[in-house]
Amino acid sequence: MALFAASEVSRAAEPRELAQRVWQETLAAPGVHVFVSEHVFVSEHVFVSDEHDRIAATCMLVTAPNLLRGGRRHGFLENVVTRPELQGRGHGRAVVEAALARAWADDCHHVLMQSGREDPRVHAFYRGLGFMPGLRVAYVAQRPSVSVSG
């Protein structure tokens, strides 16, 4: 959770009890794989209060069965996050490469991912890992907002 808070990519699950339930559900779900890269701080100026503060990057791979593509699975890459101060040191690349290796080992036909970031460095990062823009068009349906009266 500290990594997600530091990254400011999206609002994380809160309160802590909800986050713990979601994490347990994530770990129990078939076809869901979470990858992390640790950074060992060796500076006297950095105090690591908790082993979880060493997580430099993470991503999640979700694989699902598919009746098309000859029965080969779908892969979806989600929640790719690297601590801002550790970007450019290979942590993000390591977790995405591990996720792709797992997807290919699980016989996925392809791995889909989306990015809502406008930073060209983010898009260069994904292209450098083999993701190709423009092969598909992504559409997003957002949950309708519920107005509360009263």
pLDDT at 144 over 50: yes
pTM score of the predicted model: 0.82
Residue pLDDT, tens place only, 14-41: 777 888 898 899 999 999 999 999 987 6
The answer to whether the CB of 12 falls within 8 A of the CB of 19 is yes
For residue 136, being part of any structural domain is answered with no
End-to-end CA distance of the chain: 34
Phi, psi of 59 (to 5 degrees): -155, 165
For residue 144, being part of any structural domain is answered with no
Residue pLDDT, tens place only, 87-98: 999 999 999 999
For residue 18, being part of any structural domain is answered with yes
CA distance 123 to 128: 9
For residue 137, being part of any structural domain is answered with no
Confidence of residue 78 (pLDDT cuts 50, 70, 90): very high
CA distance 36 to 150: 45
Q: Domain residues for 106?
A: 2-128
For residue 139, being part of any structural domain is answered with no
**CATH code for the domain of 113:** 3.40.630.30
CA distance 91 to 68: 34
Total domains present in the chain:
1
For residue 149, being part of any structural domain is answered with no
